[in-house]
Chain A
């Protein structure tokens, strides 16, 4: 067996997701531990420049599949190519970032190679020459050490768990072009279109998240415009005023806006913002929870954040148990004041 660590670079329209470089970083650490090199896999069309960036971030060698059939990510086309390369190259491990594409591709590749897959790991170590990973299970209520008896060992790495490497533009490496395995006719799917997302900072990549809960709707002093007569609509309108304040604070901090399920279910904000067991699992450096009680399913999605700040009217709210700093007060008072105070300090 070679001591090669492979790492998959997830990209969209030629731009790598930041989690890809975290995976390169983790691969570098493993390779150094095992005494081998890092091979990065770059698939797509017109993605040669990503190959160089991968080298600058720590890869020694690139396998570049640049082909029109790979222009859009399609699991079937990507997995067929990756599985063929892996069965020839026999890496010890393949690391993927835990992005939507990365997780699917890791699963498909594992199935094609008939090996195990260990998704969303938060730590990797080497024991007796084998890689042992740690992964949160039961929504992070437990941690499991996992190991696979089959090779290559396939892992996807939780976003923001491995740190980003420094860019070293003096690093050099080799780029080897490889063929896509399937022809267009053999690929069973076709990407018809992309629909715009709402934009803003992606929750899972964000280093700061300001979240709102049901408490955002609780400001009786706000009078909805007269054309909103429905009670439910009035509640949503109120909550949206709260989320406006939350959004402003997030902007000041360069962060993203999150929400509890109660806020999402009540229609205050789209589901893509939901944090928690049935939303996104996040681990920012700073998480500010505003008007969120701290139900177990919400905590499951944010409890590993580095610094948690809770702003809640109820001193008994469970969110305070996981918070480093707490303010017992009304979010409508505290959030705008905090925004002003932070602006001053950040020179904005």
Chain B
């Protein structure tokens, strides 16, 4: 089975991301694989093990995206491709580029994604790629898909609980935490990954001409500082504190 996993490189969750002189910056905080994409890699590796086949890591990003690729390779993916994409890509552009790359890789049976990239917080790319390829989309898959005779069965997470859905391959999946913790890279994996040669494709290689993003960010701001004065509630006993706190909560008129 031919599996592709799409990963993105993002600033670490602990990074202090701020706007300085109109520029988004996270200082010297490390760049890491998008945390949700680790679940996508985990799912891909489990599927490859179960059904035979290999996993190709696909990312669109500049040179610096190598950390994300390395992490996925170190977890056990066999090869990787990096697309040198436009720096101003929105999700519409990203999805078209990834779809074209998946077609170029060829004979792909399924593609796994993370549910959301924690920089832009869009959570739309998997569904868009699915539409560009004309493949069914299983967003927010909560289990490792079961596959028999080209038919997939998977549980999807929704507000109301889980929806059990079936469909045919090739297909698109996005994953979150429900499938269980992603594996750690092994020492062997890390060594292999550091030696891996990652081919770089350009838009030309994908037969795409310059793609104009639809969505732009004319302004990025630090959120307004919330002026919060914390009032520490003290008292003689828990009951006394609770009474005072209850009065304060009632006075806020939020109930």
Residues of A within 8 A of B (CB): 12-13, 17, 72, 74-76, 79, 99-101, 103-104, 106-108, 110-112, 114-120, 132, 135-150, 188-198, 202, 204, 207-208, 253-254, 271, 274, 277-279, 285-286, 296-297, 300, 306-307, 309, 315, 320-329, 333-334, 336-338, 340-342, 344-346
Contact status of A76 and B255, CB under 8 A, knowing A17-B159, A112-B131 = no
User: Closest CB-CB distance, A181 to chain B, in whole Å?
Assistant: 14
* A111 and B92 form a contact (CB under 8 A): yes
Contact in complex: A194, B164 (CB < 8 Å) = yes
Residues of A within 8 A of B137 (CB): 75-76, 104, 108
27 contacts between A and B (CB under 8 A): A12-B158, A100-B139, A100-B140, A107-B123, A107-B124, A107-B131, A112-B131, A115-B214, A116-B215, A132-B218, A135-B121, A136-B223, A139-B121, A141-B18, A142-B17, A146-B218, A192-B153, A192-B164, A253-B255, A271-B178, A286-B249, A306-B252, A315-B232, A321-B230, A324-B231, A325-B232, A327-B233
Query: Secondary structure at chain A's binding surface: helix, strand, loop or mixed?
Result: mixed
Q: Which residues of A contact B200 (CB under 8 A)?
A: none
Q: In the bound complex, do residue A193 and residue B164 qualify as a contact, i.e. CB atoms below 8 Å apart? A: yes
Partner of A101, one of B35, B158, B243: B158
In the complex, A340→B238 CA distance in Å?
Answer: 11
Instruction: Tell me, in angstroms, the Cα distance from A190 to B226 when the chains sit together.
Output: 47
Give the chain A neighbours of B249 by CB distance below 8 A: 286, 307, 309, 325, 342
Interface string of B222-234 (1 = CB under 8 A from A): 1100101111111
Question: B177 — which chain A residues lie within 8 A by C-beta?
Answer: 271, 274, 278-279
Known: A75-B139, A116-B90, A189-B136. A107 touches B246 (CB 8 A): no
Cβ-defined partner of A103 (8 Å) among B124, B130, B219, B229? B124
Chain B facing A: main interface SS = mixed
9 nearest A-B pairs in the assembled complex, by CB-CB distance: A116-B214, A197-B161, A337-B242, A107-B124, A111-B131, A341-B246, A116-B215, A107-B127, A189-B167
* A143 near B221: Cβ-Cβ < 8 Å: yes
Per the bound structure, the CA–CA distance linking A132 and B217 in Å amounts to 10
With an 8 A cutoff between CB atoms, is B198 at the interface?
no
Could you tell me the distance between the alpha carbons of A50 and B4 in the complex, rounded to whole angstroms?
Answer: 41
Contact A342/B91 with A75-B127, A75-B139 known, Cβ cut-off 8 Å: no
What residues of chain A lie closer than 8 Å to B175, measured between beta carbons?
none
6 extra A-B contacts, CB within 8 A, seeds A188-B136, A327-B245? A143-B223, A188-B168, A190-B165, A195-B163, A320-B232, A338-B245
CA distance A192 to B91 in the complex (A): 31
Give the total number of A-B pairs whose CB atoms are below 8 A apart: 264
Q: What mask results when residues 150 to 168 of chain B are scored 1 for a CB within 8 Å of chain A, else 0? A: 0001010111111111111
The residue in chain B whose Cβ has the minimal distance to the Cβ of A133 is B215
Known: A116-B215, A306-B254. A202 touches B139 (CB 8 A): no
- Docked Cα-Cα span, A341 to B161, in Å, equals 34
Q: A309 to B122, alpha carbons, bound, how many Å? A: 30
Q: Which residues of A contact B64 (CB under 8 A)?
A: none
Q: Which residue of A lies closest to B95 (CB)?
A: A111
Known: A104-B139, A142-B222, A309-B249. A327 touches B14 (CB 8 A): no
Give A186 to B120 CA distance when docked, in angstroms. Answer: 34
Q: Given that A138-B119, A143-B223, A324-B231 are contacting pairs, would A341 and B18 also be in contact in the complex, using a CB cutoff of 8 Å? A: no
- B241 nearest CB across to chain A (Å): 6
B11 within 8 Å of A (CB atoms): yes
- Are A119 and B123 also in contact (CB < 8 A) when A111-B132, A145-B219 are? yes
Q: Contacts A112-B131, A117-B215, A338-B246 known; A327 to B241 CB distance under 8 Å?
A: yes
A19 → B minimal CB distance (Å): 9
Closest Cβ neighbor of A254 among chain B residues: B255
Residues of B within 8 A of A285 (CB): 254-255
How many Å lie between the Cα of A83 and that of B221 in the bound state?
33
Partner of A141, one of B16, B36, B158, B254: B16
CB distance from A276 to the nearest CB of B (A): 9
**Which chain B residues lie closer than 8 Å to A328 at the CB level?**
232, 234
B248 CB → nearest A CB, Å: 6
Q: Which residues of B contact A99 (CB under 8 A)?
A: 159
Contact partners of B13 in chain A: CB under 8 A? 139, 277-278, 296-297, 300
Contact B127 A144 (CB under 8 A): no
Q: Does B52 contact A (CB under 8 A)?
A: no
